[in-house]
Chain A
Amino acid sequence: DILMTQSPSSLSASVGDRVSISCRASQSISGFLNWYQQKPGKAPKLLIYATSNLNSGVPSRFSGSGSGTDFILTISSLQREDFATYFCQQSYKTPLTFGQGTKVEIK
C-alpha cells in the first residue's frame, strides 16, 4: 500500500494568514494527488485534483503543487470558513489511501 503522510497534524492560524500543508507519499504517484476539506459532521469536499487542478466552485485562494512524492496545499489568505480538517489522497493505484489529516484551527 502507498503510505500518505501529512504534516503538520494540526496548526493554529489567524484569518488572513498564508497556510501550507504538506503531504508525502511512500512512492511516486505520478501527480495523482487530491486534496479534500472536511468540516465536522459533513462529508469531505474535493478541493484539488491531480496535484494542482482546482475543483469547480473552489475559491482561488486554494492551490496545490508538487511532484513525485512531495505535495503541498496552500491557502493564500485564510478565511473563517476554511477552518476545517484537510486530507490528501493518492489515486495512483488501489488501495486508494488517505493522509491522516491536518486540522486547521483558529489562533
Chain B
Amino acid sequence: EVQLVESGGGLVQPGGSLRLSCAASGFTFSSYEMNWVRQAPGKGLEWVSYISSSGSTIYYADSVKGRFTISRDNAKNSLYLQMNSLRAEDTAVYYCARCWGLLRYYFDYWGQGTLVTVSS
C-alpha cells in the first residue's frame, strides 16, 4: 500500500525556518517525481515545488522561490522541504504528493498533510 506521511510542521515566528519531511513507503520511491502542495486555512490548493526522481530537476512556485528548498534522499525514501524566511502567508497545511503519468502528469497519491503556522 502506498503511503506518504508528512512531519515537521508546527508554530514558527515570522522570519524563522522549518524543515518538513515526507516518508514514503509501498512503492519504489526513487522512480517517482514528487511535489509539495499547500493549502492556506479555508483556501484552495497551491502547488509549491517539484523534484524529479533523481533530484536533478527542481522547480518552485514564484511565491516561495529563493526561500524554500526541496530535496530528497532516495536511500531513505524521504522527501524534504526546507522553508526559510517564513511569512504569515506561508501558514498552510503542506502536502507531499506523488507525481505520475507517461505524458500527462497527475498527483495520484497524497499524504495527510502537516500544518505550518507562522505567527508571532
Q: Do A and B bind each other?
A: no
| B residues at A contact (CB < 8 Å) | none
